Amino acid sequence: MCRTVRYRVQKPALREGRGLDMHTLCSMPTPIIGLTTYPADLENKLHARVEYVEAIRRAGGIPLLIPPGDPRAVEILDHLDGLLLSGGGDIDPRLYGGQDHATIYNVSAERDSSEIAMTKRVVADQVPMLGICRGAQVLNVALGGTLHEHLPDAVGDQVAHRTPDRQPTRHPVSIEPASKLAEVLGATSLEPSSWHHQAVKRPAEGLRIVARAPDGTIEAIEMPSHPWLIAVQFHSELRAAVDPTEQRVFDEFVQAAAQYRIRRARGKK
């Protein structure tokens, strides 16, 4: 039995049939997945939600946390097989020609700078990437797109994208059948956890809209010219341990990273 599986079979999610099977885990190389973290909090601590870590581990990857603020962040990509841009605070609206808004919160210039730089490098080098919530917005802004500063101002309150006290909620999402995301999930509809007040407004050139909420909010984008680049506005990590469909986006992402690792070892990307 491979070492990765010996560790992972102790995980309840794998015993219940979620995550990758033992044969797949043993036969694929172990990819290293960069996971961006939140900036330092009021207690001067850096952190990332454990759900991201667990979803990557269930898929067979090794998560490597990347704190914001290092101007050499792009150099880390030379040692990674995939990048997961996690959720978090809002992007500075000046970076996409937006306006300040009373609801904008937890802006971090350091995080914006390092994540945008890494995103541009991921696109150029065709490194597998998964963006979640803020991660989808970073992708769009990095490539020249814009955001809604506050969704209710644009689409109203027909669909709640978070609760009034800024906690997760759920709503339906429709996925384009002929999209990479639909292929990955094996589904064209989903009711994931939603936890945001901003979203993509104008997609950057080269990005394709592949999912929407009932109010028209863009819920996922992908880059057809890239081997594996998907970004979702919803939080699949929150339900991945109990919903195999939402775990699949991590499984497929990590498998793509494993293939990238093989190509990189052979001198190809």
* Predicted pLDDT of residue 31: 98
> Which structure tokens are listed for 257?
């990273």
- The CA distance from 175 to 126, in Å, is 24
Reference 92, options 108, 114, 103; nearest CA is: 108
- Is the C-alpha dihedral spanning 55, 56, 62, 64 positive or negative? negative
Give this prediction's pTM: 0.89
Q: Which residues are catalytic?
A: 133, 235, 237
The pLDDT of residue 70 = 85
Residue with tokens 């490597």: 64
Residue 64 contacts residue 33 (beta carbons within 8 Å): yes
How do residues 181-198 score in pLDDT, each as one tens digit? 999 999 999 999 998 999
Domain extent for 245: 3-265
Q: Looking at residue 257, which CATH number applies to its domain?
A: 3.40.50.880
Residue 52 CA to residue 83 CA, distance in Å, equals 12
Residuewise pLDDT in 10s, the chain (269 residues)? 343 322 232 233 333 335 666 666 566 789 999 999 999 988 999 989 999 999 999 999 999 999 998 888 899 999 999 999 999 999 999 999 999 999 999 999 999 999 999 999 999 999 999 999 999 999 999 999 999 999 999 999 989 888 888 899 999 999 999 999 999 999 999 999 998 999 999 999 999 999 999 999 999 999 999 999 999 999 999 999 999 999 999 999 999 999 999 999 888 66
Which pLDDT value is given to residue 195?
A: 87
Look at residue 26 in the predicted model and tell me its pLDDT: 67
Counting the structural domains of the chain, the total is: 1
Q: Three-state SS for 123?
A: helix
* CA atoms of 59 and 37, how far apart (whole Å): 19
